[in-house]
Amino acid sequence: MSNVHPAFEPITSAEIESLGVRVEEYRHRRTGAQHLHIAADNPENVFLVALRTVPEDSTGVAHILEHTALCGSDKYPVRDPFFMMIRRSLNTFMNAFTSSDWTAYPFASQNRKDFDNLLDVYLDAVFFARLDPLDFAQEGHRLEFAETENPDSELVFKGVVFNEMKGAMSSVTSQLWQKLSKYLFPTTTYHFNSGGEPADIPDLTYEQLVNFYRSHYHPSNAIFMTFGDIEAAEHQAVFEEKALHKFDQLHKTIEVGREKLYVAPVRVEEQYPLPGEENLEEKTHVVLGWLLGDVTDLEQALTAHLLAGVLLDNSASPLMHLLETTDLGHSPSPLCGLDDSQRELVFVCGIEGSERERADELEKQVLKVLEDVAENGVPHDQVAAALHQLELQQREIGGDGYPYGLQLILTALTGATHRGDAIGLLNIDAALEKLRKEIEDPQFIANAARKLLLENQHRVRLVLSPDAEMASRADQAEKARLAHIKEALSDSEKQQIIQTAQALAERQQRIDDESILPKVGVEDIPPELPKVEGEEVAVGGAKVTRYGAGTNGLVYQQLVTTLPDFTDEERILAPYYCQALSELGLGDKNYLEVQQWQAAVAGSLHGFTSHRTKLDDLNSQSGHFILSGKALAANQAALTELMQATMEQVRFDELPRIKELLLQTLARREQSVVGSGHALAMAAASAGFNRAAAEGHESGGLLGLRQLKALVKTLDSNEGLETLASKFNAIHQKILGANRQFLIVGEEERLSDFTAALAPLANNAPPFTTAEEPPFSPRKIQEVWVANSQVNFCAKAYPTVPMSHPDAPALAVLGGFLRNGYLHRTIREQGGAYGGGASHDVNIGAFRFYSYRDPRMAETLNDFDASVEWLLNESHDANQVEEAILGVVGGMDKPGSPAGEAKKAFHSNLYGRTHAVRQEFRRQVTEVTLDDLQRVGMTYLKPEKASTAIVTGSQGRDAGLALDLHEEKL
């Protein structure tokens, strides 16, 4: 182990060769705080402090505390240090999370000065939070009069978390998980909604929040976790100096107990709101859930993971095959799989698009599959393929979403939370090797299925049915509750509500002294954008671009073609063709056999298309088709063979399978609306600017979802399916005729071998030139899209310029400038939305305002406009410009995984976004001035140029129409 600070004692350490890290565990002598350090040769250092938080109700106390703790501390008594630091930093990640049994505060940075700054602020925020009652009112909940100073107007609930959870619980998947957890966990904390149920959040008092903080936010209940090239002792010195020396041991153990198990299966029915739907047929979810045991038992957990993989990993897996092909529902439930994020493992399977009276039959069919597995086992190659997938997941170096170090930390956090072997959850090589031997016993999986599932009486069957009036009843209940509260208010209590609203408004308008917070500046920005170097070679007459990278024994390869000239219909169908390509049969193999083939040799294989406009012309774009795969390096030749078969032997004659795939896609797209409503609203608002923007709305946006719904309706007949299959084949023939090039990423010493193996994939098709696109007629968008949501997502967009235009850097900086200086305060703090801001998309030439999980509509659109007036007419500080510049550069410099960085470099070059072009753009960003921001604001953000789109629920429809927006239905 590395040097240890005197305040800490070493506990254990382990070298994990498969991850290229050393994990060290320490204990703080005085408080008992745990420190888990993952030492790695990686300059992106990560910090996380987690507290075990165990709510005993659904008021959202842990979630609201997470928000409120970040609103000012003893050392930094400013109103909003968290969001202030986001813009005073070069962080690669900053956030806070509330899970079901822990609350965590993580950040990451590649800059040591920045890391030290953030660590100081985070430690003070967590252990010395001020918890101002007004911050509780802002972030949690409060009462206000609809007309703030008129006690005769209606009372309303406000609060950021209150509105966030209204949005979160609009998701049917969230409701499904919460309802299932209520019954799977009758006695422990998971019975409750840790995020908060909107109906229960107003029950939480400020005193309860403070008491929860005092009992849970103590070092004795804390887990410190770090990753990177800073030594553990250096971190520990800061922990001790800034926080830990001020605390003694807390003689209270906070933990989640084991669940009291049922002696017989439980069958329950619940409802979920589906307002505005006339037809509620086949919209019921039927799921079965089991508790499988303690997550800290590594061998048991890995056996459960393996069993889940065998049963559900792909379409050839016995249980997934049933769920995909049964006529009892449309598609497998989004909850299918194994959840290992809580004290006890949860296994779930089921279907959506069903009816309540089909539940008995589904349960019977599921148990029959499990009985067959328990009686007859499964072929050894299927078990070996599932274990292969486990190994791939263990070996792969991530970092393209969360920082890689944070992914490792979160993997270990579950074990640490429950005082188990956190290191063991990372160092699973020995356990995998033991599993590899155990699966030689043909009864291993059979016995696991029998013990963990068939003989396990702690099983819940949940039927979740739609209710068209439920949302209205909930809304009426909230109004009745508020009316009852108002009726009981004395005059002095009414004045107190008014005074609290006034005090909060004054606090939100107050300009704090940001200079007390540490910061980095433009001078701390590295002079060069990080560069990833590749080389071009030829194989079989085709160009191969290859990158050497530390991929930990994995290889990534892509077949890339220029998109041929599609008809309008083919262009619309291309995303669904791409999805089907790797999910259908090949040659004499049916799709089930192909799924097993893929599982045995590849970590993933999928097709997709990408499009970019020209650097200097928004009306001209190019696109590519990509077949992308990854595998263990030892399987690269087998992966290449699989990719070749996929391109040359795919068959479009499995019509029921094509229908299954489209139904699954539709279900996923519908479920994603309330999670990404702001992005969908921005895409809709921009759709009238140019062809690229229109196609984005059509392929991945709300228009595309509506078109997919219409397409699915044509698949009820065999004729409709045959027609679609024929169109897929026509698309495929055009792609087959396109000239190919390749991308390969792997460890340097094996690149030559990898390259040679690609030869069978090369073709000799001549390069072709795409036909000129027909002219596009720009139009103004004024739309309101009605979805199943309790909150709004607002967007306003303005046409701008492409990346090469001199104004593009200033527009990029302007988004952060408006968010930091105006929009965050008015939309989030004052308006109660979960988020809001602005950004510039150079690919489609659009500057876009947005709000996320927003209780307001017209007022938010007015705030968008007011931010422009603020930009042009108020005086501003040069520091505000610098903070916005830091945000843009931080985003450009944010590292990905080794493979992800190589892929990003390749695809950027493919569209002319070379390193030199991006470096020059970055340089121009660092030189943007306040005059530049005001000039581009005046030039492009003119009211007459604005397009507007709002995603809302049925409750917001009339408000949208009152704004002269045209209703668009999904």
pLDDT tens track for 251-264: 889 999 999 999 99
- Summarize pLDDT for 883-942 with one digit per residue, the tens: 999 999 999 998 888 899 999 999 999 999 999 999 999 999 999 999 999 999 999 999
pLDDT (tens digit per residue) in 644-677: 999 999 999 999 999 999 999 999 999 899 889 9
Mean predicted confidence (pLDDT) in 484-489: 95
What phi, psi does 470 have (nearest 5°)?
A: -60, -45
CA angle 71, 75, 78 (to 5 degrees): 40
pLDDT tens sequence across 321-377: 999 999 999 999 999 999 999 999 999 999 999 999 999 999 999 999 999 999 999
Instruction: Supply the DSSP string of 91-141, one letter for each residue.
Output: -SEE--EE-SSEEEEEEEES-HHHHHHHHHHHHHHHHSB---HHHHHHHT-
Pairing relation of β-strands 782-786 and 947-952? Answer: parallel
What is the residue type of 711? L
- Token pair 């995984």 is found at 897
Write down the pLDDT at residue 763: 83
Among 602, 680, 557, CA closest to 392: 602
SS3 content of the chain, % helix, strand, coil (to 5): 50, 20, 30
pLDDT given at position 583: 97
Does 535-761 match 266-467 at the fold level? yes
Confidence of residue 770 (pLDDT cuts 50, 70, 90): low
**Measured between alpha carbons, how far is 385 from 603 in angstroms, rounded to an integer?**
10
What per-residue confidence (pLDDT) applies to 934? 98
pLDDT at 906: 96
Instruction: Give the pLDDT of residue 800.
Output: 98
* 535-572 tens-digit pLDDT: 999 998 899 999 999 888 899 999 999 999 899 999 99
Residue 17: pLDDT over 90: no
Which residues, in sequence order, are CB contacts of 28 under 8 Å at separation 6+? 7, 8, 34, 35, 219, 239, 240, 244
Cα 867 off chain centre by: 28
| Cα dihedral across residues 543, 548, 550, 554: positive or negative | positive
Backbone angles phi, psi at 784, to 5 degrees: -125, 120
pLDDT band at 775 (very low <50, low <70, confident <90, very high): confident
pLDDT at site 1: 64
Of 46, 899, 39, give the one whose Cα is nearest residue 552.
899
Annotate 915-941 with DSSP letters as a single string. HHHHHHHHHHHHT--HHHHHHHHHHH-
CA dist., res. 761 & res. 765, Å (int): 12
| Phi, psi (deg, nearest 5) at residue 929 | -115, 170
| pLDDT number for residue 460 | 98
Q: Residue 379: its pLDDT value, please?
A: 94
pLDDT value of residue 233:
97
Q: Is residue 3 over pLDDT 90?
A: no
pLDDT in the model for residue 129: 97
CA distance 72 to 58: 25
pLDDT, tens digit, 9 for 90 and up, residues 701-752 = 999 999 999 999 999 889 999 999 999 999 999 999 999 999 999 999 999 9
Write the pLDDT tens digit of every residue in 499-541: 999 999 999 988 888 899 999 999 999 999 989 999 999 998 8
Q: What percentage of residues in the chain have a pLDDT greater than 90?
A: 87
Q: How many CB atoms lie within 10 A of CB 77?
A: 14
d(CA 61, CA 197): 11
Q: Which residues pair with 839 in a beta bridge?
A: 848
**What would the pLDDT profile of 780-795 be if each residue is shown by its tens digit?**
999 999 998 889 999 9
- Say whether pLDDT at 831 is over 80: yes
For 618, residues 6+ apart whose C-beta sits below 8 A from its C-beta are 689, 690, 692, 801, 802, 844, 845
Per CATH, the homologous superfamily of domain 266-467 is Metalloenzyme, LuxS/M16 peptidase-like (3.30.830.10)
Q: Which percentage of the chain shows pLDDT scores above 70?
A: 99
pLDDT tens-digit series, residues 569-603: 999 999 999 999 999 999 999 999 999 999 999 99
Average pLDDT, the chain: 94
Report how far apart, in Å, the C-alpha atoms of 522 and of each of 87, 164, 927 are: 12, 34, 9
Instruction: Enumerate the domain spans of the chain.
Output: 266-467, 535-761, 782-969
Pick the CATH number of 535-761 from 3.40.50.300, 3.90.1150.10, 1.10.3720.10, 3.30.830.10: 3.30.830.10
Can you tell me the mean pLDDT for 953-960?
92
pLDDT of residue 769 exceeding 70, the answer is no
Query: pLDDT at residue 969 above 80?
Result: yes
Over residues 598-635, the pLDDT tens digits come to 999 999 999 999 999 999 999 999 999 999 999 999 99
Superfamily in which the 782-969 domain is placed by CATH: Metalloenzyme, LuxS/M16 peptidase-like (3.30.830.10)
